[in-house]
Amino acid sequence: MNVSSLIKQYFASNSNDVTIDVFDEKNIYTVYQRVIETLTHHMNIETTLLQALSYCFYEILDNVLTHSGKELGSVISHYDPEGHTLSLLVADDGQGIRTSLAENEKYSKLTEPEALEICIRDSVTDGKGMGFGLYTTSLLAKDAGLRFDIRSGNHTLSWKESKYLVTESDAWQGTIVYLQLRTDKEIDPGKVVANRTNPAEQYNELFLKDNELEELW
């Protein structure tokens, strides 16, 4: 995987200040925990945003190992405290979204643009998962997103001006999920997961100490 090309394309203005992680089945949780813990230490990032992001981020990582057909994925991240923005990119060089969804007979005839259009809908899956990860990430993007791209094959689904648009793009073998968030906006993490679980409680238990929890109230 050409990580340097991804940095040039998505992190050009911050190319010397990004964090790069490679994850597989053995260290996925370690990478996840390290990224979220690092963000937790930045006091200016809204806790409610981190509560929602912590759920979505793990789902995106897990998607790579579950659906791409590859054993490795890459994470690139950058936090800009002055601009109050967080950029996260998760990429793999696997089979891509259209081929993955085609494993489910229901979606076997979809074109690549059609597959990208529906991959963020609730319960759309190749049969190996619940079809909830990209859906929740799309809800997070609607609440606090500055940019949200899903790129696979020759097309990209982008969240722009309060709507989604699929366009042709440079070819990428596999899938790229790029998310840029406002970190100074308070949101409802329960709404992001359609109130099917409690991301706030999960985040608090994993990443906040007792004294930090008291400061939230």
SS3 of 198, please? Answer: coil
Domain boundaries, the chain: 3-210
The rounded distance, in Å, linking the Cα atoms of 69 and 94 is 6
User: Which residue reads 């991301």 in tokens?
Assistant: 199
3-state SS of the chain: helix, strand, coil percent to 5? 45, 25, 30
- 3-210 maps to CATH 4.10.80.40: no
pLDDT (tens place) for every residue of the chain, 217 residues total: 789 999 999 998 887 899 999 999 999 999 999 999 999 999 999 999 999 999 999 999 999 999 999 999 999 999 999 999 999 999 999 999 999 999 999 999 999 999 999 999 999 999 998 899 999 999 999 999 999 999 999 999 998 777 899 999 999 999 999 999 999 999 999 999 999 999 999 999 999 975 554 554 4
Residue 147, token pair as written in the block: 């940019």
The rounded distance, in Å, linking the Cα atoms of 20 and 144 is 23
The rounded distance, in Å, linking the Cα atoms of 28 and 160 is 30
Q: Counting Cβ atoms within 10 Å, is residue 68 exposed (0-12), middle (13-18) or buried (19+)?
A: buried
